[in-house]
A and B are shown apart, each in its own frame.
Chain A
Amino acid sequence: MKTIDLPKSSTALREGNVRNLTEHVVEIVSDSGEGAQKCGQSFGTIAARMGYGVWTVEIIPAEIQPPARSVAGASGNRIRFASSPVTNGGDDADLVIALNEQVLLGRVGEMKPGCTILLENKWKDDPDSSVAGAYQRTVDDLDQAGFKVREVPMEEECLKHVSNARRGKNMFVLGLLCGIYEFDTQLAREQIESIFAKKSRAVIDANVGLLEAGFAWARENFDLRIRIPATRPDQPLVVANGNTAIALGIVASGMKTCAMYPITPATSASHYLSEIFEKVGGFVHQAEDEIAACCFAIGASYAGSCAVTITSGPGYSLKQEAIGLAVMAEIPLVVVNVQRGGPSTGQPTKVEQGDLLTTVFGSHGDAPKIVIAAASIEDCFYSIITARKIAETFNMVVVVLTDASLATAQTLFPRPRYDESWHAPPIDQSPVPKGALRYDWDPETGLARRFIPGQPNGMHAVTGLAHDRRSRVAYDPRINQEGLQNRSKKLVTLQKTLKTPPVFGDGEGDLLVVGWGSTRGAIEEAVRRVRSEGEKVSALHLRFIQPMPPGIGDILRRFERVLIVENNWSDRADGAGIDEDNRRYSALALLLRARYLVDADCWSEVMGQAIKPATIENVIREKLS
């Protein structure tokens, strides 16, 4: 294997062409199976090791093997990396690498004006004239639209090193990127060693060769060089997506049973958990359906320590009756809902925050449960630990809301330091005092100690029927009233222990932007931008949706205006035919307006992607004007 001496500095480069920046958004797109995902993930890992803040977003086609050279078949990765930590995927792309022009077409709306495009040029001379024609038309159109298209002979260059360019072109592309961004090539080599660790030496050498070829090609042929300073982190960091963080949170929480049914985008959490869970005495049960998964988890919870079921919107709908059973029988349960686009099958791989109200109000009758929304990937980890603890303390259902954007995006966060208090206590098998009642609701808190099979004297039959303190079927309406009152009281008890969330920015001002869940990073970035121009704008982010922490009303009332920003449906106030009598507000707006009697406005969209900071920035400016 010939190794290339990498030039220390390229002769082709004039110093004026080095752009010093603080961040960039890069996209790599290809047909499915060409390795753009692996290339993007590798680029992100190298960036992270160099000390950049990183946020990667998967670009995934709906099908497993979509047709080649199709707009909807684009597969790849978007990487935002910056000198400082990043909390979201950022705005439109600064630089895009595409392995054909068709996969690019669907991404144009996500590219900044003047965005640099590196495009595989082999299609120009394709024997099929319709392919060659389509290529040329696209290049011309992109040029006309002001994008800087640079055609790169990727295939041709790769064939100098390997016989099949389709395998390995992604590593050539990685080399191009390392060249443009002046990345540490030693780290890139190590990354290749690591991803091909199970392959032969020859495979690793070939891929390193392609990496070096890409690097050298970029240095020799591009006058484009982007320099972004990296900062070494002062603490150990981990890199994970939200679903991995959830799986790790489940392990850390001491839960032992995860019951699930495959559903996008939740399933990868269970994949990861299946790998590691048995080592810590746990197991993943793939049930025959969503209802069975929920009931299995309830059974396991009833028999011992709290269990978890992981799902997404359609699965959540199916679980609703069983969730009501756990509420009624006061059995601890953690339900994770990785939200996707709805209603119905909706947009399985796309993000939406459309399930807030169904989790708060869902299941028939009054079924009080706790709803926590993870605000970041790191928070996915800690939310599960919190959820398990609350579920077992209050014998309640705790729903943890995340969404497709948290589930599949990867970022860095401080490595958790394991705390033994996270772990579930051993199953209580001590005798129950004779005569003790299963639902001996405490008049102050509504709490009652549960009796677990194996505990002598604790025999009782839990039931979804209205029941008295001995868990016997209630035929007296006053007993029903008492049961509902006590189950509701538990929410009050928890609410009093919650802290008022901090306001991002000043505690009062012209506008307060309120959000929940995955939008936190983007909202706060947008607010920071307008605040830097002197605007009196702050942000508030809710992690506990039910119960709402104390002090929210006071915060809302200290601002002239309140704007709720969410990734779900709402009518625009100025929409055709919309007036105050018929306007449908977004989910959190509805809750906040109802609870605090504050005339809060809302802005939301359902574009199937994370809301960009620039979009929120524009919405804020419009609201202020």
Chain B
Amino acid sequence: MTTCNLIPECCRHSGDDALTVEDYGRALPRWCLGCGDHAILAAVQRFCRDEQLPPEKTVCVSGIGCSSRFPHYMETYGFHGIHGRALPIAEGIKMARPELNVFVSTGDGDCCSIGAAHWIHAIRYNMDMTVLLHDNEIYGLTKKQASPTSPRGLTTNTTPRGSYLNPLNPLSATLGVANVSFVAQAVDWIPDILHEIIRMAYHHKGFSFVRILQRCPAYLPNTFEARVKDPSSVRLLTHEDGLVPTPAIARVYGNQEEHDPLDIHRAREIASVSDPIPVGILYRDPAVPRYEDSFDSDRTDTAETTGTALERELDKITIQASA
């Protein structure tokens, strides 16, 4: 294990066997300078370090797009899938191995466009996984096309006269689906809160959906710039069962609203507002049943028990010849 001596916080668990933030990193990320993906990666690695998640018991799953390179940069197990299909792959993993920690990184195109059907149903399944929607409101890897969350009027390579449609609201959409159990929003430019929300998402036993507004310096350098500089453009959702900002954060981000995460009606109202940007836990219901718990399977079967079960089934279709 390497031990980081530069930043004292990194050494919090610095027993001989404690894992550091660096231990959760693999290759050097190839995202653009200033891309919000870096902040999300850092937050997840820091979280893994804090919780000392066993890397071999942790799987990061993704689809296709800039953000979906995520698993390549995590020294855990990873599955970089195909466009739009991160969620069903993650569901298969979780169902086969409920003891694994499953993280999903998906972009606004991956989740809300090509994979939208899976997104809706993943909410219904409510399987225990942490889903990070890296929402930069643009297609990056394919070079600047309008995404479902692009603001109306945005000039892109496929909408040179401005995009025609109102953006899809991922928070409202998620809050509208039966069995929704956890919805939060974070922004890439407040790393402490991003980290805290990921922590709460992980500890929620169910489908934890975190939309993260993130900057794309290559294609939308100005989208969030004014808001990054103006703390009042963010409204923190605070609650003793939700986000409790540190005094330092609370001083900077004074625009706050006390919101009970069990109140789905208020959550839906909050979700419908984009300015100021609501940040915090919009909704959390730990009582929603999880799909992986609904099967009555005994997972400890052996060749012998299978043989017994098969013989029993064959008995039912065996033809008893007449005497």
Where the two chains meet, the residues of A that have a C-beta atom closer than 8 Å to any C-beta of B are 45, 48-51, 184, 186-187, 232-233, 236-240, 244, 248, 251-252, 254, 256-257, 259, 276-283, 285, 287-289, 291-293, 295-305, 307, 321-322, 325, 329, 412, 415-416, 418, 420, 422-423, 451, 453-465, 472-473
- Residues A463 and B72 in contact, CB atoms below 8 Å apart: yes
Query: Within the complex, which residue of A186, A237, A453, A456 is in contact with B318, where a contact is CB–CB below 8 Å?
Result: A237
Bound-complex Cα distance A302 to B120 (A)? 23
- Residues A49 and B322 in contact, CB atoms below 8 Å apart: yes
Query: Within the complex, which residue of A186, A281, A329, A412 is in contact with B297, where a contact is CB–CB below 8 Å?
Result: A281
Residues on the B chain within 8 Å of A412, using CB: 319
Query: Within the complex, which residue of B76, B313, B321 is in contact with A459, where a contact is CB–CB below 8 Å?
Result: B76
Bound-complex Cα distance A416 to B314 (A)? 8
- Residues B88 and A291 in contact, CB atoms below 8 Å apart: yes
> For chain B, which range describes its interface: under 10, 10 to 19, 20 to 34, or 35 or more residues?
35 or more
- Residues A454 and B306 in contact, CB atoms below 8 Å apart: no
Q: In the complex, how many angstroms separate the beta carbon of B19 from the nearest chain A beta carbon?
A: 12
**9-residue interface stretch from B91-99, B130-138, B247-255:** B91-99
Bound-complex Cα distance A473 to B100 (A)? 25
- Residues A415 and B72 in contact, CB atoms below 8 Å apart: no
Q: In the complex, how many angstroms separate the beta carbon of A290 from the nearest chain B beta carbon?
A: 11
- Residues A238 and B317 in contact, CB atoms below 8 Å apart: yes
Bound-complex Cα distance A569 to B310 (A)? 39
Bound-complex Cα distance A451 to B120 (A)? 31
Question: Secondary structure of the A side of the interface?
Answer: mixed
- Residues B88 and A238 in contact, CB atoms below 8 Å apart: no
- Residues B301 and A299 in contact, CB atoms below 8 Å apart: no
- Residues B27 and A49 in contact, CB atoms below 8 Å apart: no
Residues on the A chain within 8 Å of B317, using CB: 238-240, 244
Bound-complex Cα distance A51 to B309 (A)? 27
Where the two chains meet, the residues of B that have a C-beta atom closer than 8 Å to any C-beta of A are 26-27, 55-57, 59-61, 71-72, 74-82, 85, 87-97, 100, 117-118, 120-121, 295-307, 309-311, 313-314, 317-322
- Residues A259 and B92 in contact, CB atoms below 8 Å apart: yes
**Cβ-closest chain A residue relative to B317:** A238
Residues on the A chain within 8 Å of B95, using CB: 257, 283, 285, 296, 299-300
Q: In the complex, how many angstroms separate the beta carbon of B159 from the nearest chain A beta carbon?
A: 27
Q: In the complex, how many angstroms separate the beta carbon of A128 from the nearest chain B beta carbon?
A: 44
Residues on the B chain within 8 Å of A457, using CB: 56
- Residues A299 and B57 in contact, CB atoms below 8 Å apart: no
**Cβ-closest chain A residue relative to B306:** A280
15 A-B pairs with CB atoms under 8 Å apart are A45-B319, A50-B321, A237-B319, A251-B306, A281-B298, A292-B117, A293-B88, A295-B85, A302-B89, A302-B92, A303-B97, A418-B307, A454-B57, A455-B56, A459-B55
Residue among A239, A298, A420, A465 facing the most chain B CB atoms (10 A cut-off): A298
- Residues B313 and A276 in contact, CB atoms below 8 Å apart: yes
- Residues A303 and B307 in contact, CB atoms below 8 Å apart: no
Residues on the A chain within 8 Å of B320, using CB: 49
Bound-complex Cα distance A412 to B314 (A)? 12
Residues on the A chain within 8 Å of B300, using CB: 281
Bound-complex Cα distance A237 to B309 (A)? 18
Bound-complex Cα distance A473 to B64 (A)? 13
Given contacts A49-B321, A299-B96, A472-B27, whether A288 and B118 have CB atoms under 8 Å apart is yes
**Cβ-closest chain B residue relative to A429:** B56
- Residues B301 and A295 in contact, CB atoms below 8 Å apart: no
Q: In the complex, how many angstroms separate the beta carbon of A308 from the nearest chain B beta carbon?
A: 12
Bound-complex Cα distance A288 to B87 (A)? 11
**Cβ-closest chain B residue relative to A236:** B318
- Residues B56 and A458 in contact, CB atoms below 8 Å apart: yes
Residues on the A chain within 8 Å of B309, using CB: 251, 276, 279-280
**Cβ-closest chain B residue relative to A259:** B92
By Cβ-Cβ distance, the 8 closest A-B pairs, closest first, are A299-B92, A461-B78, A423-B303, A295-B88, A281-B301, A300-B92, A300-B96, A288-B121
- Residues B314 and A248 in contact, CB atoms below 8 Å apart: yes
Known: A50-B321, A277-B297, A418-B306; 12 extra A-B contacts, CB below 8 A, are: A238-B317, A248-B310, A280-B310, A295-B85, A295-B88, A296-B92, A299-B89, A299-B90, A458-B77, A459-B26, A459-B75, A464-B80
Residue among B55, B297, B313 facing the most chain A CB atoms (10 A cut-off): B313
- Residues B97 and A420 in contact, CB atoms below 8 Å apart: no
Given contacts A298-B89, A420-B304, whether A51 and B71 have CB atoms under 8 Å apart is no
Bound-complex Cα distance A257 to B295 (A)? 12
Q: In the complex, how many angstroms separate the beta carbon of A95 from the nearest chain B beta carbon?
A: 23
